[in-house]
């Protein structure tokens, strides 16, 4: 069983259609895709998982008859929303820690009020946008868990953004087989590279911010 799951995982990672089209692989594909989406949406260390390209690939597999379109849509939406809920719960738990509370209390109250207003007013747009950015996909729900106390409103934002994100990416994947081969390959390569590019930008920005802050502290001293 573990060998079969590992094979499907590597096939998804490398976009190996020959392995994915093998008879009897559909059930394992549902399991692996759902697990990847759940982990990547709920836990920051799982950010390197190529979930965007996996969702698009799932749409392509549905288009060629390997997967049931309605079933894969349901699996991805449910796992994406549950993953965000796990991240939200982590934020609720972290918010109870004294160290985290001291960090929050150090922020001016007017700034916190601005953050709360933005999260409440633009929660759907923020969560939908975050789903396309590794790390931020699980980081934003975690932050909302620390600042948004109304769980029903979070669930509304989370499930609706999961539905929009899933339909968009699965729809792109579903349409790829009908495109000319050169265009289909170019789109597929772009989608595979996008998570790596966004993750690199996010990590580079964090490093630059950290270095600039250290240099500013040294200049003050």
Identify the pLDDT of residue 6: 79
Neighbours of 86 (CB within 10 A): 17
Contacts of 176 (CB under 8 A, 6+ apart): 56, 59, 60, 63, 184, 187, 188
DSSP letters of 184-203? HHHHHHHHHHHHHHHHHHHH
Q: Structure pTM?
A: 0.75
What is the residue-level pLDDT of the chain in tens, covering all 221 positions? 667 777 877 777 677 777 777 767 888 889 999 999 999 888 877 777 778 888 988 998 898 888 999 999 999 999 999 999 998 888 888 877 776 666 555 556 665 565 566 566 666 677 887 787 777 788 888 888 877 777 887 888 889 889 999 999 999 888 877 766 666 566 656 655 555 555 566 566 667 766 776 776 666 55
Contact assessment for residue 79 and residue 41, using Cβ atoms and an 8 Å cutoff: yes
Which residue matches tokens 């989406």?
A: 37
Identify the pLDDT of residue 186: 64
* Pair of tokens at residue 199: 């993750």
Rounded to the nearest 10 degrees, how much is the dihedral formed by the CA atoms of 53, 177, 10, 19? Answer: 170
Contacts of 75 (CB under 8 A, 6+ apart): 30, 33, 34, 37
Helix, strand, or coil (residue 134): coil
DSSP letters of 65-86? TSS-HHHHHHHHHHHHHHHHHH
């Amino acid at each position: 069983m573990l060998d079969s799951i590992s094979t499907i995982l590597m096939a998804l990672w490398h976009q190996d259609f020959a392995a994915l089209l093998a008879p009897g692989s559909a059930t394992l594909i549902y399991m692996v895709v759902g697990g990847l989406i759940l982990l990547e949406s709920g836990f920051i260390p799982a950010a390197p998982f190529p979930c965007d390209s996996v969702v698009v690939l799932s749409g392509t597999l549905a288009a060629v008859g390997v997967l049931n379109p309605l079933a894969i849509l349901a699996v991805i939406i449910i796992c994406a929303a549950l993953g965000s809920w796990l991240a939200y719960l982590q934020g609720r738990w972290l918010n109870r820690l004294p160290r985290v509370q001291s960090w929050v209390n150090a922020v001016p109250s007017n700034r916190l009020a601005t953050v709360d207003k933005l999260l409440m007013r633009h929660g759907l747009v923020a969560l939908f946008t975050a789903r396309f950015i590794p790390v931020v996909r699980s980081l934003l729900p975690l932050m909302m868990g620390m600042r948004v106390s109304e769980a029903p409103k979070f669930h509304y934002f989370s499930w609706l953004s999961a539905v929009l994100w899933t339909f968009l990416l699965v729809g792109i994947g579903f349409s790829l087989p009908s495109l000319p081969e050169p265009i289909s390959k170019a789109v597929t390569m772009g989608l595979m590279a996008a998570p790596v590019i966004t993750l690199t930008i996010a990590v580079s920005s964090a490093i630059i911010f950290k270095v600039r802050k250290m240099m500013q502290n040294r200049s003050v001293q």
